[in-house]
Amino acid sequence: MTNLSENNQRIRSVDLLRGLIMIIMALDHVRDFFHGPALVEDPLNLNTTTPVLFFTRWITHFCAPVFVFLSGTSAYLQSSRKSKKELSLFLIKRGLWLIIAEITFINLIFSFDFFFSAFTLQVIWAIGISMLMLGLLVWLPFEWILITGLLIVMGHNGLDFYERANPDAGNFVYNLLHRFGVHTLWGKHQLFILYPFMPWTGLMLLGYCLGRVLRNGNEAYRKKFLVVAGLSAIALFILLRFINIYGDPLSWSAQKNKFYTFLSFINTNKYPPSLLYMCMTIGPALLLMAWWDNIQNAFTRVISVYGRVPFFYYILHFFTIHFFSAIVFFIRGHSFAEGANNPTLFINFIKAGEGFSLGMVYIIWMAIVIMLYPLCKWYDKYKTSHREKWWLGYL
């Protein structure tokens, strides 16, 4: 989520990849707010979904892990212009800022609930707490950071066996670390832990370590590393998923036909992100980075704009999506009182079961992404021309 120099081929590939996943991310959120069955049916439920709906949701699985992974990469790239102490303090302060942002105005634009009936810990929280942890760990030798990241990513699914044997076990702290949970704070105010942070922190640590590779001046070495690492992650996914014992709490199973069995095979767990989920998404992402290392044209320049202002875009796209969905809510004849007291996941001015076809969702998605481009381009230029403003580094 940190602005990266445009004078470096390696950095351009990072911005390009991040811009692509930011655009894809908007598709999932538009589907949540505009697709008729979005809040009443699971698009990954193989008993009710369609192939198009399944892949509309599945492709967005790449967004959160790549977002978190590249946040770690950006942190390492900053070490070239910051001392260890400066980098540590920056990551800790920015991490705290992102956590505060998540539970305040990001929750507000997500819910349009001024009473904050629910606080939802999502991807910005995961990045914030992981960045805070990274800020503490940057003092360790590089090898220790790498080993810690590998141990978390490769080993955290060992907890699945405990959770399977103790389905009702777990408390607030454990849920923050590794398990989805809902907790009552006071009165009717609730906390939804969608992104337990331990696996995300491990992924950010590995992204941080990738930064050393991207800083290497040998282009052939960078590309070879990215290709080998990407193919290795994909191979590990296929092997462990085929064995069907470790790496994901949800086993795949034979379905009504071979195609749906394939869908079961690639349907991995995001909350929290399993080892197989991370291999399935980060592997192809590394291959894309290798492929894009030297590509620069009009298309990549446009996509990279979104990747250079990710936090700005994240806030803007969520507000825009919810704002227009609220307009549709009123056009359908609903009152303000009805919208402001909505029990649907504590999201106001939206009604479960109402919405548009999936084809219309795609049209709305592209319209919103295009609409936000001029603002993102303006903000990108503003940040580039005002580097002396320290506070821009936190946005």
Decide: helix, strand or coil at residue 120. strand
Instruction: Give percent above pLDDT 90 in the chain.
Output: 79
Q: Would you state the pLDDT for residue 343?
A: 65
d(CA 73, CA 227): 17
Q: With CA atoms as reference, report the closest residue to 35 among 60, 13, 15, 56.
A: 56
Q: Which residue has the higher pLDDT, 189 or 130?
A: 130
- Does 10 score more than 50 pLDDT? no
Lowest mean pLDDT among 6-20, 121-135, 309-323: 6-20
Instruction: Give percent above pLDDT 70 in the chain.
Output: 96
Helices (H), 181-340: 197-214, 219-243, 258-266, 275-291, 298-308, 310-331, 336-340
Q: Would you state the pLDDT for residue 32?
A: 95
Q: How far is CA 279 from CA 56, 173, 230, 283, in A?
A: 19, 26, 8, 5
Read off the pLDDT of each residue in 105-117 and give the average, rounded to a whole number: 92
Q: How far is CA 1 from CA 14, 17, 134, 238, 381, in A?
A: 11, 12, 14, 30, 16
Model confidence band, residue 5 (pLDDT cutoffs 50, 70, 90): very low
Q: How confident is the prediction for the chain on average, in pLDDT?
A: 92
pTM over 0.75: yes
Q: Which residues in 52-62 are b (16+ Cβ under 10 Å) and which e?
A: ebbebbbebbb
Give ∠ CA 44-46-51 in degrees, rounded to 5. 75
Model confidence band, residue 306 (pLDDT cutoffs 50, 70, 90): very high
d(CA 108, CA 114): 7
Q: Which residue has the higher pLDDT, 5 or 339?
A: 339
Read off the pLDDT of each residue in 209-217 and give the average, rounded to a whole number: 90
Backbone angles phi, psi at 131, to 5 degrees: -65, -40
Q: Which residue has the higher pLDDT, 186 or 238?
A: 238
Peptide bond into 199 cis (omega under 30): no
- Does 345 score more than 70 pLDDT? no
Q: Would you state the pLDDT for residue 319?
A: 97
Alpha-carbon radius of gyration of the chain:
21
Model pLDDT for residues 191-203, shown as the tens digit of each residue: 999 999 999 999 9
- Does 217 score more than 80 pLDDT? no
For helices 197-214 and 9-34, angle between their N-to-C axes, nearest 10 degrees = 150
- Does 280 score more than 90 pLDDT? yes
Q: With CA atoms as reference, report the closest residue to 263 among 113, 43, 93, 97.
A: 43
Read off the pLDDT of each residue in 321-328 and give the average, rounded to a whole number: 97
DSSP designation for 105: I
In the numeric block, the tokens 């994240």 are attached to 314
Q: Would you state the pLDDT for residue 1?
A: 46
Decide: helix, strand or coil at residue 251. coil
Give ∠ CA 21-284-219 in degrees, rounded to 5. 95
Please check whether residue 253 is in contact with residue 264, taking contact to mean a CB–CB distance below 8 angstroms.
yes
The set of residues, in sequence order, having a beta carbon less than 8 Å from that of 285 and lying 6+ positions away, is: 17, 21, 62, 65, 66, 69, 230
Model pLDDT for residues 24-73, shown as the tens digit of each residue: 999 999 999 999 999 889 999 999 999 999 999 999 999 999 999 999 99
- Does 9 score more than 50 pLDDT? no
| Structure token pair of residue 272 | 């929290």
The set of residues, in sequence order, having a beta carbon less than 8 Å from that of 139 and lying 6+ positions away, is: 84, 88
d(CA 123, CA 21): 13
Q: Which residue has the higher pLDDT, 166 or 312?
A: 312
Please check whether residue 200 is in contact with residue 151, taking contact to mean a CB–CB distance below 8 angstroms.
no
| Structure token pair of residue 346 | 């504590």
Model confidence band, residue 4 (pLDDT cutoffs 50, 70, 90): very low
Q: With CA atoms as reference, report the closest residue to 204 among 1, 15, 30.
A: 1
- Does 7 score more than 80 pLDDT? no
- Does 156 score more than 60 pLDDT? yes
